[in-house]
Amino acid sequence: MLHNDVNDAKQETGLKKDIVVNVNKQPVQSKDKERPIKLTVTNLDFWYGQLQALKDINLRIEKNRVTALIGPSGCGKSTFLRTLNRMNDTIPGTRVDGTILLDDMNIYKDVSDVSVIRTRIGMVFQKSNPFPKSIFENVAYGLKVNGIRDKRLISDAVEDTLKKAYLWEEVKDKLDRSAFALSGGQQQRLCIARALAVRPEVLLMDEPASALDPISTAKIEDLVAELKENYTIVIVTHNMQQAARVSDHTAFFYEGILVESGVTKEIFTKPTKKRTEDYITGRFG
Amino acid sequence: MTRPFENEIDRLRKKILHLTAMVEESLQSAVQSVIDRDNTFADDVIVNDQKIDQYEVEVEEECLKILTLHQPVAADLRYVVGVLKINNDLERIGDLAVNIVKRNQQVSKQSVANVPFDLPEMLKKTLRMVGDAADALVDRDVAKAIEVCKTDNEVDELHKSAYTEIQKCLADDKGLIDFYLSLLSVSRNLERIADHATNIAEDVIYMVDGEIVRHQGG
């Protein structure tokens, strides 16, 4: 809506010269379950001009887990997702308050160059948005703009990343073809590969399978399950079954408020808040 | 406007209540037969059990249809899963009622022989447990369901006492072995019915509160 697809795509790859080396900082420990926390959101408010879209959000996102954000349209879940890698920065008139820690780095205070964040926190969008380039170039793009020139290194990284995105077998013989020649599902996996190429630690996914057929959707969901071994994933979805299937944790947003968050199994069998129950059972309004 | 899903749940609710009524009727007849030492209603119970079996299949199909087509979550999911389990317990109670009337054939032959344990109390408690479990299901009444679970211990005790007393009688009076063994079987079937009523009550608690309360007695 507020970005064109190519701009989104460029931002997700982190347009800077040096690949950011991931610092192995000690993960913050969750007090109650002793699981490492990757992102800690505290008292987060967000405004589009006068309109407050997020109100006092507090959420801890565990490392190497899938966290699903659910809620009706306009509830703030996509806005929240975009605050996690400062994608909202480019929208005029927006304002953010509160803190978001990536490990122990405050992404709004400690970082002046947002591409540093976007390299560590990649993003995949609802509509697949490959560059008008070849399949190979789409994946190699992030590496090249990050200063890597070694063709062998790039070639190996492209193959490795396409394998991670479960796409290699389908495209290995046509890497020089246009990305637009791929099916919708393949294009989306290509975009995931492109996001993975710069080795992010966190992957944000904004309804990544909403425009795909069931088979392509299943592939994306399998991929998410596979990727959480190495990445922390936050996924926005309107599909309740998908949230239930792919995520470990679920957060329910309504009118800019985080109503309830918890273990997915609990949210979908025994939610504690009536609004959550009404939403997931389709009795809203 | 009622959503199709709510219509399905409503239909399922009516079906499980109908099955509950059928099973209660069967059990009532079986209990009355034992109290009266009269097996006139035995055939009714057996025929009714065949209807219960058919109905159980229908309820299960209805549950599977809802799970497949609507993929319910939260309270809806707990309701359908609860009904699926309660359905099975009700069908088993129907079978055990048949066992009781079959055993009562031997019992009713002895019109004057003394029953060495409190059978009327056991019949009354078991029947009430099933009735209360059914009411708890209808009214989503957790308090009543908890009461049913508690009463199960009392029925267990009555069955233990029946076992002890019958053991003594078997040693003393060898002429009535069939009578006593049949009585013991009636007692065991009642004890099992009480267990199924308890299962139903526990499933009602799960439906309403989402808490699994089974096996908490250790």
Q: Which residues from chain B sit within 8 angstroms of residue A282, using beta carbons?
A: 3, 5
What pLDDT, on the 0 to 100 scale, is given for residue A285? 54
Nearest-angstrom CA–CA distance, B61 and A20:
57
> Which pLDDT value is given to residue A20?
36
Q: Which of B3, B71, B210 sits opposite A241 (nearest CB)?
A: B71
Query: What DSSP designation does A127 have?
Result: S
Nearest-Cα residue of chain B relative to residue A265:
B74
Q: Model confidence over B81-135: pLDDT tens digits?
A: 999 999 999 999 999 999 999 999 999 988 878 899 999 999 999 999 999 999 9
Q: What residue of A is the nearest CA neighbor of B211?
A: A270
- The answer, for A45 touching chain B at a CB cutoff of 8 Å, is no
Tokens coding A244: 């239930």
Determine the residue among A269, A275, A278 to mutate to test chain B binding: the one whose Cβ has the most chain B Cβ atoms within 10 Å: A269
> Which value does ipTM take for this structure?
0.72
pLDDT of amino acid A175 = 96
Residue whose C-alpha is closest to residue B159's, from B197, B123, B198: B123
Residue A268 sits at the chain B interface (C-beta within 8 Å): yes
pLDDT score for A16: 39
Q: Is B78 on the interface with A (CB under 8 A)?
A: yes
Looking from the CA of B190 toward its CB, the CA atoms found within 13 Å total 36
Enter the DSSP assignment of A109.
Answer: T
What percent of chain B shows pLDDT beyond 90?
Answer: 79
User: Does the beta-carbon distance from B74 to A277 stay under 8 Å?
Assistant: yes
The reported pLDDT for the residue numbered A111 is 84
- The confidence score (pLDDT) of residue A181 equals 94
Residue B189: helix, strand or coil by DSSP? Answer: helix
Torsion of CA B79, B82, B84, B86, to 10 degrees: -130
Find which of B9, B71, B73 to mutate to test the A interface (most A CBs within 10 Å of its CB). Answer: B73
Is A248:A217 a contact under the CB 8 Å cutoff? no
In the prediction, which pLDDT does B212 show?
Answer: 86
Which chain B residues are Cβ-neighbours of A280 within 8 angstroms?
73-74
Per DSSP, the three-state class of A263 is strand
- Among B166, B26, B169, which Cα is nearest to B98's? B26
Separation between Cα atoms, residue B122 and residue B194, nearest integer Å: 10
Strands ordered across the beta sheet of A121-124: A121-124, A202-206, A232-236, A66-70, A249-254, A257-263
Q: Say what the pLDDT of residue A8 is.
A: 53
Give the pLDDT of residue B78. Answer: 95
Return d(Cα A132, Cα A240) in angstroms, integer.
Answer: 33
Q: Taking residues B12-24, what's their average pLDDT?
A: 95
Q: How far is A212 from chain B (nearest CA, A)?
A: 20
Whether A282 and B3 lie within 8 Å, measured CB to CB: yes
Whole-number pLDDT of residue A33: 57
A70 to chain B, any CB pair closer than 8 A? The answer is no
**What domains lie within chain A, and their CATH numbers?**
33-280 (3.40.50.300)
Cα dihedral A61, A62, A63, A68, rounded to 10, equals -60
Q: Is the Cβ of B65 closer than 8 Å to some Cβ of chain A? A: no
What letter would DSSP give residue A108?
T
CATH 1.20.58.220, applies to B4-209: yes
CB-CB neighbours of B100 under 10 Å: 29
Q: CB-based contact (8 Å) between B1 and chain A?
A: no
Q: What amino acid occupies position B73?
A: V
- Which residues in B lie closer than 8 A to residue A272 (C-beta atoms)? none
Type and span of the H or E element at A98: strand A94-102
B137-187 pLDDT, tens digit each: 999 999 999 999 999 999 999 999 999 999 999 888 888 999 999 999 999
- Amino acid identity of residue B12, one-letter, is L
In this structure, the number of other CB atoms found within 10 A of the CB of residue B208 comes to 19
Please report how the helices A151-164 and A184-197 are oriented relative to each other, as an axis angle in degrees rounded to 10.
130
pLDDT tens sequence for chain A (285 residues): 344 455 555 555 444 333 333 334 444 444 455 789 999 999 999 999 999 999 999 999 999 999 999 999 999 999 999 999 999 988 999 999 999 999 999 999 988 888 889 999 999 998 889 999 999 999 999 899 888 899 999 999 999 999 988 899 999 999 999 999 999 999 999 999 999 998 899 999 999 998 888 888 998 899 999 999 999 999 999 998 899 999 999 999 999 999 999 999 999 999 999 999 999 988 875
* Residues on chain A touching B78 (C-beta within 8 angstroms): 269-270
What length is written for chain A? 285
